[in-house]
Each structure stands twice: as C-alpha cells, then as structure tokens.
C-alpha cells in the first residue's frame, strides 16, 4: 500500500496474484452465502468497489491506531526518567 501525493485517499496496489485470489474468494463467497454465481468481471467490480470505497476507512483506522499506540509508548518513555 502506498499513499498518493494527494492526502485525500490512499492508493492500494494489489499484485496480480493477490487480486486473482481475492476475485476467487469473492466468487466463492457469493456462491456459498448468496447462491449467486459471479463471473470474473462481476467479482472484479465488487473488489474494485471495496478497495475504492471501503478500504480507505480501514487504512485510516490503522493509521489512527498506530498513531495512538506510538503516543502511548512515548508517554511510557517519560516514566523512565530518574
């Protein structure tokens, strides 16, 4: 994952192998849970929707959690003072 120069939305690069696996997982999910057989194109469009719309929310939450964690660790450092 790499963030673009624009701070508005992160850009997620997914390798072909990972993308193919995700498409297969989406197809399997729809078949098992919804009894809908998706083709590769439909599953790719679902993946594009999640990556473009929902993934940034998870990414931002991860950045926030990492920031909070680092602040807490920095506070712990102050307790080491003598």
Task: Determine if the pTM surpasses 0.85.
Answer: no
pLDDT tens track of the chain, all 82 residues?
Answer: 444 434 556 688 899 999 999 999 999 999 999 999 999 999 999 999 999 999 999 999 999 999 999 998 888 777 777 7
Distance CA 38, CA 31 (A): 8
Distance CA 79, CA 44 (A): 51
Distance CA 82, CA 78 (A): 9
């Amino acid at each position: 994952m790499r963030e673009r120069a624009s701070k508005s939305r992160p850009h997620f690069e997914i390798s072909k192998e990972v993308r193919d696996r995700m498409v297969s997982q989406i197809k399997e999910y729809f078949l098992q849970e919804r009894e809908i057989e998706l083709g590769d194109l439909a599953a790719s469009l679902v993946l594009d929707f999640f990556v473009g719309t929902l993934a940034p929310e998870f990414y931002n939450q991860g950045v926030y959690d990492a920031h909070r964690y680092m602040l807490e660790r920095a506070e712990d450092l102050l307790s080491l003072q003598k």
